[in-house]
A and B are shown apart, each in its own frame.
Chain A
Amino acid sequence: MNLFSFDFIKTTFSNIKSNKQLFSLSVATNFIAFTVLGIFFLLFVNLDILFSSWDKHIQLIVYLDDKISNPNKKKIELLFNSNDKIDSIFFVSRDQAWESFRGKFSSKSNFVTSLNFNPLPDSYTLRFASGPDRLKNIRDFSEKIKNENGVESVEYGEKWISRFEQFMIFLRGFILVFGVVLFSGMILIISNTIKLSIYSRKDEIDLMTLLGATHQYIKVPLLLEGILQGVSGSLLALVSVKLIHLYIVFWFQGSLESVFRGLEFQYLTKPIIFSVISTGIIVGVLGSSISANQFLHRHNSE
């Protein structure tokens, strides 16, 4: 680090020292905005994990008609085998299904033991290869197979999957819109703080330009001040979101495990943490650049 850079850092900290209250206020406002955003991210991350875990368990069950002919059954099996997206095919006969059903529910209901016929059909359980298009593949294949002769019905919990998918799309969109609003707000806050900081040192900055300081020399400490405001706000927010995460894990992990089927309540992922910090830097650079450029442009066109 050369002396010139050291001078920038020294000037930045001396600016912050002389405008402590203003700096703290800006950091606090950014901290609140980033915390709100962080909480939404926390919610999103955990719902996404939950959704992914459900996604892994999604399987397509094809129920066959009791009166299905052998050629139709063969045709259906051929369709299964010709689809390279299908990982595995299990045939469950109606007797196996009934045995399994009775095993699970006979102790819980007299109705099951009192029933003296098998109401269940033969079925195939299909597992699809994992990947981002897994759900789409299941959906497409189920549309294709459900109208085949000998197929009574297909099932993969489409309604609730669609609803959850729509909710996740909504949440993603909401976070995006909300993030953009908060982002703009934070830029405005930092820009105004830097503006106030510039005006509190107007005489000094005016003199700098008159004595031959370059724009870079005037702008760099202001940019550093803005970046420090953004980064401090984002780091404090990450700490507060971590505390919220720990609180939830400490008090509600038991209930969450039962709801989330053994999944742990997660903190923000690394890419999200880096995005939050990067956003802090971007917000700081943009906010301070706007004010510094406005001031220098106005000053030179006076």
Chain B
Amino acid sequence: MIKVFNLYKSYGGIAPVLSDISFDIQDGEFVFLTGQSGAGKTTLFKVLFGWEKFDRGQILVGGINVGKLNEKNLYQLRRKVGFVFQDYKLLMKKTVFENVAFAQQIVGANMKTVRAKTWNALKNVGLVKKKDSYPSQLSGGEQQRVSIARAIVNDPELILADEPTGNLDSEISKEIFALFEKINQQGKTIIIATHSAEILRKKERRHLLLKRGKLLQS
């Protein structure tokens, strides 16, 4: 699913943010990307998502050479990847249903498909009853579940979740991780960036450990 080879990225400072990163992730894997704050987890995600450019190296995501993409065909990569943001990035003027349907509408799905897929995604994250609520009427955990529903609604092959439980308490975090495991069982490749030691202790999954921009464990 993902092949990264000799990746370098810097913001112009002395030390690169990402230095000589190489790893492979197979289809259907569930991987944790760990490391302290500032280790480069978010930057690595942004680079994988085509959100930021990189200086050197090769990245293949779902067969797409990320380095060859330009601003006009970047959407091809974005449609293969569902991104779950730490700050949820929900549209406050839209209802839960509309927020999830939004991801379907912008890829040009017809109304019938939009309704069916949005309904399924909400069912998957257990938010059907809250479909008409606005984000401001939801708890943090519920908002993150809407964000996950939006990430899976277009049926992407890969889900990147950047600190999805960073703003949530441990009970809600468990629910969110359980949700990711359920999605993984449906065949999706999942990478979760987290620095929660508790979660890492409990989950026996593959870890990619970043320290000051270098990959120590893959």
Contact = CB atoms under 8 A, between A and B. Distances in A.
Name which of A4, A212, A296 has the most chain B CB atoms within 10 A of its CB. A212
Interface string B93-114: 0000000001101111011000
Interface string A276-291: 0000000000000000
B71 A212 contact: no
A297 interface: yes
B106 A217 contact: yes
A258 interface: no
B78 A212 contact: yes
Interface in A49-63: none
A264 interface: no
Interface stretch (A92-100, A128-136, A181-189, A201-209): A201-209
Contact of B111 (A3, A209, A212): A3
Contacts of B83: 210
Interface string B106-127: 1110110000000000000000
A263 interface: no
B103 A211 contact: yes
A300 interface: yes
Contacts of A211: 78, 102-103, 106-107, 150, 154
B91 A207 contact: yes
Interface residues of B, number: 24
A165 interface: no
B123 to A, nearest CB: 20
A209 B49 CA distance: 11
A interface: dominant SS? helix
Contacts of B150: 211
Contact of B51 (A3, A210, A213): A210
A4 B71 CA distance: 22
Contact of A300 (B71, B76, B103, B111): B71
A102 interface: no
A160 B64 CA distance: 75
A90 to B, nearest CB: 73
Contacts of B89: 203, 207, 210
Contacts of B106: 208, 211-213, 217
A11 B77 CA distance: 24
A114 interface: no
A214 interface: yes
A301 interface: yes
A212 B154 contact: yes
Given A212-B76, A213-B107, 20 more contacts: A3-B110, A3-B111, A7-B108, A203-B91, A204-B91, A207-B89, A207-B102, A210-B49, A211-B154, A212-B75, A212-B79, A212-B103, A212-B107, A212-B154, A214-B75, A215-B75, A217-B106, A217-B108, A297-B71, A300-B74
26 contacts: A3-B111, A4-B108, A7-B108, A203-B89, A204-B91, A209-B74, A209-B75, A210-B89, A211-B102, A211-B154, A212-B75, A212-B76, A212-B79, A212-B103, A212-B106, A212-B107, A213-B107, A214-B75, A215-B71, A215-B72, A215-B75, A217-B108, A296-B71, A300-B71, A300-B74, A301-B71
